[in-house]
Chains A and B, each alone.
Chain A
Amino acid sequence: MIIAVQRRGDIQAGTFTAMAGPCEVLFEGCDVEQARRLTELAAAETLRIEHKFSRYRDDGAVHAINAAGGAAVRVDDETARLLDLAASCHALSGGRFDVTSGILRRAWNFDGSDRLPSRGRVKALLPLVGWDKVVWRNPEITLPAGMEIDLGGLGKEYAADRTAELLAAAAPAAALVNLGGDLRATGPRGGGAAWRVGVEDPGREDHAERVLEMRGGGLATSGDARRFLLKDGVRYGHLLNPRTGWPVRDAPRAVTVAAATCTEAGVLATVAMLHGRDAEAFLAGQGVAWWCHR
Chain B
Amino acid sequence: MAATDRTYRSIRGALSAACALAGVGGVATSRATDVETAILGYAEPNRVSALETVLQARHDFGSGYLGNFKVVYDALTGASASGAVPGAAVQTFTRPSGRGSYSTAPGETPLDDTFRDARVAVSGGLTLPLGRLSTATAGLYGSGEHDYTSMGANASIARDFDRRNRTLNAGVSFSRDTVTPEGGRPIPFASMTPVGADLPRLAGDGSKNVADAMLGLVQVIDRATLVQLTYSLSRVTGYQTDPYKLVSVVDPTSGAPVDQLFENRPDARTKHILFGRAKRQLPHGVVDLSYRFMTDDWGIVSHTLELRDRLELGGDKYLQPHVRFYHQSAADFYARWLLDGAALPDHATADYRLGAFDGWTFGLEHGRNVGRDHRVTARVEYYRQSGDGHPAGAPGDLASFDLFPVVDAWIFQLGYSFGS
Contacts and interface: CB of A to CB of B under 8 A. Distances in A.
A287 B16 contact: no
Name the residue in B224, B285, B312, B318 with the highest tally of chain A Cβ atoms < 10 Å from its Cβ. Answer: B224
Given A211-B163, A260-B16, A281-B7, A193 B281 contact: yes
Nearest to A211: B164
B369 to A, nearest CB: 11
A240 interface: no
Interface in B285-310: 285-286, 310
A25 interface: no
A218 B62 CA distance: 16
Contacts of B24: 158, 161-162, 165, 261-264
A191 B10 contact: no
16 contacts: A158-B22, A189-B281, A191-B285, A192-B318, A259-B30, A260-B16, A260-B26, A260-B27, A261-B26, A277-B3, A277-B4, A278-B2, A278-B6, A281-B5, A288-B32, A292-B63
A29 to B, nearest CB: 8
Which 5 A-B pairs have CB atoms at the shortest separation, nearest pair first?
A260-B26, A216-B29, A88-B18, A261-B26, A161-B24
A268 interface: yes
B415 to A, nearest CB: 15
B32 A271 contact: no
A118 interface: no
A282 B10 CA distance: 8
Contact of B29 (A92, A190, A215, A282): A215
B27 A162 contact: no
A155 to B, nearest CB: 12
A291 interface: yes
Contacts of A261: 16, 19, 24-26
Contacts of A84: 18, 21-22
A217 interface: yes
Given A191-B310, A217-B29, A259 B62 contact: no
A263 B281 contact: no
- Contact-residue size bin, chain B (C-beta under 8 Å from the other chain): 35 or more
Contacts of B224: 9-10
A109 interface: no
B342 interface: no
B30 A281 contact: no
Q: Tell which of B3, B11, B24, B64 has the most Cβ of chain A within 10 Å.
A: B24
A284 B61 CA distance: 7
Contacts, number: 166
A233 interface: no
Interface in A110-139: none
A285 B164 contact: no
Interface in B1-46: 1-12, 14-16, 18-19, 21-30, 32-33
A162 B26 CA distance: 11
Nearest to B61: A284
B283 interface: yes
B30 A85 contact: no
A225 to B, nearest CB: 15
A106 interface: no
A165 B27 CA distance: 12
B14 A193 contact: no
Nearest to B133: A210
B114 interface: no
Interface residues of A, number: 63
A288 B19 contact: no
Interface string A179-222: 00000100011111100101000000000111100111110000
Contact of A285 (B10, B28, B318): B10
A82 B22 contact: yes
B11 A93 contact: yes
Contacts of B281: 10, 189-191, 193
Contacts of A43: none
Given A284-B62, A288-B30, 20 more contacts: A9-B222, A10-B224, A29-B283, A88-B18, A92-B15, A190-B285, A191-B281, A191-B282, A191-B285, A192-B286, A259-B16, A261-B26, A264-B26, A267-B19, A278-B4, A280-B62, A281-B2, A281-B7, A284-B61, A285-B10
Contact of B19 (A8, A263, A281, A292): A263
Contacts of A8: 223
A285 B60 contact: no
A191 B26 contact: no
Contact of B16 (A158, A208, A264, A277): A264
A258 B60 CA distance: 12
Contacts of B22: 81-82, 84-85, 158, 263
Contacts of A189: 281
B420 interface: yes
Interface string A268-282: 100100010110111
A191 B318 CA distance: 9
Contacts of A217: 26-30
Interface in A60-117: 78, 81-82, 84-85, 88-89, 92-93
Contacts of B18: 84-85, 88-89, 92
A8 B26 CA distance: 27
A264 B1 contact: no
A102 B11 CA distance: 23
